[in-house]
Structure 1
């Protein structure tokens, strides 16, 4: 008998693999947190599967999501990214990745690392929800509103509350696997 999974991932092997192995697993590595920040900002207004299908292209185009390198991108690199058909070629989103890398480093200087900063919003403990259906999950919460507001105040771009809630779900700050999903207790 197949394992029960969250309904949003069913039917696409890439989606199911992401769900089974990554989504909702608590992340505390700044490099991975930055990767998800970039991917979630590019996802704004698009489907997550679109981003997953282009993830390796993003990894190559954005120097393996090395925020220290991205923070130094110049105009030539911006143009190169805007010509790269393998990623989402949105000027505002490309610019946001560069600005966000610079601001990410500023947060690291202030808090020691980004992990300490971002996880403080949930008191360093994942929020465990108890949804019966994936459609019951909210798009935003008071906490994602608070994170979004604080990041925007610090100069981050494309970090609206919906993007930040998706980031929280992806990085395990919140467990939104449905209660019957095999990953619910595992993460």
Structure 2
């Protein structure tokens, strides 16, 4: 129930405290001084961790799949600095599949990153895009880095465990309903039919 409420909140609310660009990991650019506290909890939203796109005008059959995707792992790196907001960045591992109805050899997968309180209240959310290049193969994968995430803290006594950073595919209402109904296909859905 909490996860369902979170995905609804994350789907409909947007803010601007999360920004992203590509750079080296925060963890690699910092000295070895231990953090004053733990990083926020990080993970993918269950209902939005899978992506299935069917060909336009088709049904929900195995042979109608254009593209699939899964979020396979999420990692967070963070740094406390006095009482200012917690600086963090995340790495997201994606696995992508191309079905028999794919009209191209590449596909853009929209995804979101949201900063929430542990009670599920969304503090900030931003949408990004991951471009998958299949190069004639039915499956591929990619890691995306989102940095410059700012976790707001009232003061230096507030720990990162009071917050969560959640990710998921930015789904249409139909895709979200498909996931919530427990339906799913393998990443290489349709590959055997296309042979």
TM interval, shorter chain, is under 0.3
More helix by share: 1
Instruction: Name the TM-score, length of structure 1 as normaliser.
Output: 0.25
Question: Who wins on radius of gyration, i.e. which is larger?
Answer: 2
TM-score of the superposed pair, with normalisation by structure 2: 0.25
